[in-house]
Amino acid sequence: MTVKTFYLNSEKTVYLKAYMLDDVEGLPFCNKRPAILILPGGGYEYCSAREAEPIAMRYAAEGYNTFILIYSVKKRYPASLLNAAYAIKKIRERSEEFNIDPDKLAVWGASSGGHLAACTATMWSDPVIYKALDCKPEDIRPNAAVLSYPVISGVTNPHKGSFDILLGEYPTRDDLSKLSAENRVTPKTPPIFIWCTADDDCVPAQNSLVMAKACVSNKVPCELHMYDSGPHGLSTCDKATGWNEYFYLDNCKKWIELSVKFLEKYMNV
């Protein structure tokens, strides 16, 4: 495996950390691997390490070249979304260097990173985004999205802290609605895999439900898994991210395997 860091701004505060697997003759994926862009959570205040490399390693084990984005935090919209869209653009432009298939690029996000991933999947055709990056809309459209216990809605059981950072402390309902990912789903939204826990006391499960409902309404392929119990911020649901003492999380751990199968189906991996 080759690990490299690529800075995306002159201040070196926004960057991609790439994990590129070595080619092994005769093994699957060695000729143009699928890729996944990882957007950690952290309430738009920081990028959570426990939702970064542990996730990258799990998808790498499945044959993916993985890219962790450390994006702008404590910044108003659209700073972080522009970071994510620009990362997709650059990964595709350098697909030969990264040995990836540019048409098999998924995005993964957890919590507020899930909101960022959902916005990336639904707002790629917004002129505010693609014109700022001087590219075509399809250049920044991910081929699929995986959302882990995501922040989605600014109006339905919102995670107030995330939207306060994106829009300020007193946002209008109209602004909240525009940044509610469920309102941005269209029939051109890529396939979306979502999972959460029913008793999440930080980001209510209703966020996942409204996103899934929007996908169904727009005939977007969608898979939703709601596990009965588990705290917020589960990441890989195991000792690698500090959850080994919670025996009941064995069921939640299945999300990784299920998401891989979902990506295999809808990205033709």
CATH of the domain at 107: 3.40.50.1820
Residue 260 has a pLDDT of 98
Residue 10 has a pLDDT of 94
Residue 113 has a pLDDT of 98
pLDDT tens by residue, 256-269: 999 999 999 999 98
Residue 30 has a pLDDT of 65
Residue 144 CA to its chain's centroid (Å): 9
Note whether 148 and 111 are within 8 A (CB).
Answer: yes
**The pair of three-digit structure tokens given for residue 65, joined into one six-digit string:** 């070249």
Number of domains in the chain: 1
Query: Model pTM?
Result: 0.96
d(CA 165, CA 175): 13
**The pair of three-digit structure tokens given for residue 231, joined into one six-digit string:** 């705290």
Nearest to residue 177, comparing CAs of 166, 161, 188?
166
pLDDT tens by residue, 104-138: 999 999 999 999 999 999 999 999 999 999 999 99
Full residue range of the structural domain in which residue 219 is found:
2-266
> How many CB atoms lie under 10 A from the CB of residue 40?
26
Q: Which residues of the chain have pLDDT under 50?
A: none
